[in-house]
Amino acid sequence: MYWLALEGQLGIPLANAEEIGGRGARYLESIAALNPLFSRWRPNAGRRHRSVVPSTLTWPPDQTEISNLVNEGTVFESRKGRKQHVGYFISAVTRETDPYRVDFWLQVDFTEGAWWFSNRVGATFYTRSGDIWMALRRGGHDPVAFARRALLDLGTIWDCDWAGAQGGDYSAKGSRPPNAPRLLRYKSGWMVYLDRAHACCIGEANDVKVERLANGGVLFTTVADTMIDGGNADHMAAARRLQTALYPLNESDAGGDR
């Protein structure tokens, strides 16, 4: 596997650039706590031509600087015949010379009735050649523990209602309930985090590791000792079992499909 992809859905859209800057600073620090290599970041998108944000972000992270990056990533759309500020998009990436890198991104739409898909956050750990699992091992990491910590940081710092590592729709063909949305909001994956409000509303996930967290949330792990492999029948069966357990959440979200 060339990458480790983490994605989270914001439980509540964030409208305040200063609050986003504070969370962003905390999250970048949490990534650097995994490996000190991840302490040199450059903005990757959304910068103005005359940016007040330096080409390499200050370290330790400066909340005001990241808030400025958020403001420079302001998204406007034409709605009801008027140009309106509807949200933000930011992205930052670690330096190219590192043996493996991180790409962080955040998109927000804080308008009333905004689609959940427009309120997400993520981080992708990757290597340009070879396997991210092996790259992490060479760096002295236990990849399972690394992924768990990175996912929980993402889910809790950004107040996600769902967050996943290698997340996706793992539904078996023909197994979806008839009223499930076309694009599932609550997906299965290698590891899946649910906040307190949603963890109590799912079905039984047989033969899936369940870890109950101090904040009331739950972490589900479909494959406990290695990274999930799409070519492994046992791995896919476990991911499908978790996907089935998540169907009650997706049925209640059916009205939010686009």
Quick: pLDDT tens for 155-198: 999 999 999 999 999 987 766 666 667 789 999 999 999 999 99
pLDDT of residue 24: 98
Same-domain check for residues 112 and 137: yes
Same-domain check for residues 15 and 50: yes
pLDDT of residue 111: 94
**What pTM was estimated for this model as a whole?**
0.92
Q: Of 160, 191, 216, which marks where a domain is finished?
A: 160
What are the CA-CA distances from residue 146 to residues 30, 125, 140 (Å)?
A: 11, 11, 10
Same-domain check for residues 60 and 173: no
Interior angle at CA 66, CA 158 and CA 151, nearest 5: 30
For 163, the token pair is: 């967050």
Q: Of 160, 177, 194, which marks where a domain is finished?
A: 160
For 69, the token pair is: 């990056």
Give the residues of the chain that fall short of pLDDT 50.
Answer: none
Residue at 94 is within a domain: yes
Same-domain check for residues 20 and 144: yes
DSSP assigned state of 18 = H
Structural domain boundaries, residue 137: 3-160
Q: Of 160, 189, 218, which marks where a domain is finished?
A: 160
Q: Where are the beta strands (DSSP E) in the chain?
A: 3-10, 41-45, 74-79, 82-94, 101-109, 120-126, 160-165, 191-194, 209-212, 218-221
Same-domain check for residues 151 and 179: no
For 175, the token pair is: 């197994």
For 131, the token pair is: 């396997």
pLDDT of residue 31: 98
**Rounded Cα gap, residues 186 and 184, in angstroms:** 6
pLDDT of residue 198: 96
User: How many domains does the chain fold into?
Assistant: 2
Same-domain check for residues 29 and 123: yes
Q: Phi, psi at residue 135, to the nearest 5°?
A: -65, -40
Q: Collapsing DSSP states into helix, strand and coil, what is residue 233?
A: helix
| Number of Cβ within a 10 Å radius of residue 233 | 8
pLDDT of residue 123: 98
DSSP assigned state of 61 = P
